[in-house]
Amino acid sequence: MSLEVTLAIGLLGEVCYNRSMKERMSELVKLLNRYAHEYYTADRPSVSDSEYDRLYRELVELEEKCPTDILPDSPTHRVGGKILEGFEKYPHQYPLFSLQDAFSREELMAFDQRIRKEFPQVSYICELKIDGLSISLTYEKGILVAGATRGDGSVGENITENLKRVKDIPLTLKEPLDITVRGECYMPKASFDAVNQLRQENGEPEFANPRNAAAGTLRQLDTAVVAKRNLATFLYQEASPTEASSQEAVLNKLASLDFSVNPTHILADSIEAVWEFIEKIAQERDSLPYEIDGIVIKVNDLAVQEELGFTVKAPKWAIAYKFPAEEKEAQLLSVDWTVGRTGVVTPTANLTPVQLAGTTVSRATLHNVDYIAEKDIRQKDTVIVYKAGDIIPAVLRVVESKRISEEALEIPSHCPSCESELVHFEDEVALRCINPLCPAQIKEGLIHFASRDAMNITGLGPAVVEKVFDKALVKDVAGIYRLSVEDLLTLDGFKEKSANKLYTAIQASKENSAERLLFGLGIRHVGSKASRILMEKFHDMIKLSQASQEEISSIDSLGTVIAQSLHSYFEQEGSQLLLQELQEAGVNLDYLGEKVAADAALAGKTVVLTGKLQKLTRNQAKEKLLSLGANVAGSVSKKTDLVVAGSDAGSKLTKAQELGIEIRDEDWLDSL
């Protein structure tokens, strides 16, 4: 036999061998993923742990021999081994909204009344509000390509590698879908107890609660730690456009794709049925294997959701009922009064320490002077403390039976920072310092300006702001851009390296898109989302500063309060001077996001969408209108230029007809 023939036979054997190994690897991956789904998601294991381990070891051995043939959905991806350098920012293609909260039956009834005013026959789906970390998962052709935290809803952190270690998250889907889903990543109670037990044994500080533990785990740079802590998920939303007609259908679709979906949810035709469900779950809450902090109530019909739309902060079609927080008694020792960046003077109670929701609390907000008067809080009172929204410690009420003093709390008449006389406006509940040169307000304003969600100047935190202000190096936000390396070297604790680093961060912030600058100015009622919406509309700060109240208030989801606040701010000579100084310092005043051409087909027109659309989702239609230069409004008025009406259009169409407003259909919009 010739050498060539011998080699050919050997190569053929190797190919066959590799092919058989590949086939076995594929078989093992399918088997192990099925077993994992049965164990972690369906809670119906069909094989023993030892059998699973045997098959897993076989797969590992095969993958070591054929590392180039490792499949993207292999369960070995879930094992730690990667040390991450950090987490990159992740811009969400589909924004992840937050929900408005309700704390009483009355608030739920008010929500229901607002909905039924427009849609009398509406039904709700009620889901458990899992106390974890909100995440999004993006799949391309059925393969997991990105997992991220919610962040501010627009930008989160890319934690894909860590989420791959969460055992109930599918690495590949049954179908080659392009889909983005949203859900909650949490730590089950059993895992939480085990993690804290281990930390106690190792002399490490214990996690306060499962939510903190889950959040801390997902931000680990060592993926092996994530793999060991047994996190889990519940998915509940198709964030990308969906063909489903209801939230119930979305949940069924997610379950069919092998996502973990919480089975405890109901459909309710009335707010009374919603409340019955809340009361039932409140009784069962402690026996659940995971922590919940409330119930989420959503309009079930997705077309109705689209019709109802959003405010700047939250959807109008959903609300989160929060269970009453844990309450503890504590004695009031003293009160501190602090001045915020808007001049509001806030009282904070110093208390005897108490344990609340796993943390030690010794300070709690008293909200404002009207609250102190309403609750009749006096010196040395025993008070009930709770965590508002399970986050912020607050004083709820006085335990009058334990009162030991009749002496009223001392309410300041002058600003604790600048000694200016405080003002208590009739329409406000708070004391306010109206001195524009108040040091405390200026410092708080500088801290806000440099914060992550505003100009994001790394290294310019509260302590450094305090130093530059006290040395009179900075008097307003424009002064930040006049700082030199030499100035920074005069500060305590600053060396050449740290001074250069901060100087570089300050210079880099000049290139930010203008919505960050607008938010950073701290104009009352103008949050980060409103800032982005305003910049999308006006494109630069100068145009916005010259806009009328009517132009601003006509923008969908903004309204008159924001319009009045902006108008009042830019009317001041000092504000115009500040813009000029920022511009001279080289700070960008333009919106760097996607802009609409001035000659776009619907430029400057106010358009209202109504009814069910067949070809486009409500969001797709809205995006198209915005790309054509339209201002998309939520309600019909004399200022409306055009109404795009789908099928089953209701009161908005009727009003448009009465006002003689131009009406177009979906086909017309699709043709543009």
Q: Where in the sequence numbering do the catalytic residues fall?
A: 129
End-to-end CA distance of the chain: give it in Å, rounded: 74
The three-state secondary structure class of 197 is helix
- CA distances (Å), origin 156, targets 90, 92, 153, 191, 315: 5, 7, 7, 26, 19
For the record, the structure tokens of 260 come out as: 């973990």
For the record, the structure tokens of 580 come out as: 């000029």
Q: Which residues are CB-contacts of 571 (< 8 A; sequence separation ≥ 6)?
A: none
């889907």: which residue's tokens?
A: 173
Q: Count other C-beta atoms under 10 Å from residue 356's C-beta.
A: 20
Burial of 413 (0-12, 13-18, 19+ CB in 10 A): exposed
Please report, as a single letter, which amino acid is at residue 468.
Answer: V
- CA distances (Å), origin 420, targets 240, 416, 424, 436, 511: 53, 8, 13, 10, 37
Question: What is the C-alpha separation between 595 and 174, in angstroms, rounded?
Answer: 39
- 266's enclosing H/E stretch is strand 265-268
Q: How open is the CA angle 509-513-515, to the nearest 5 degrees?
A: 110
Question: What is the C-alpha separation between 126 and 263, in angstroms, rounded?
Answer: 11
Q: Count other C-beta atoms under 10 Å from residue 306's C-beta.
A: 22
Question: What is the C-alpha separation between 64 and 73, in angstroms, rounded?
Answer: 16
Question: What is the C-alpha separation between 408 and 372, in angstroms, rounded?
Answer: 10
- CA distances (Å), origin 407, targets 7, 350, 351, 396: 100, 17, 17, 19
Question: What is the C-alpha separation between 635 and 434, in angstroms, rounded?
Answer: 37
> What single string gives the DSSP state of each residue in 88-141?
-EEE-SS------EE-SHHHHHHHHHHHHHH-TT--EEEEEEESSEEEEEEEET
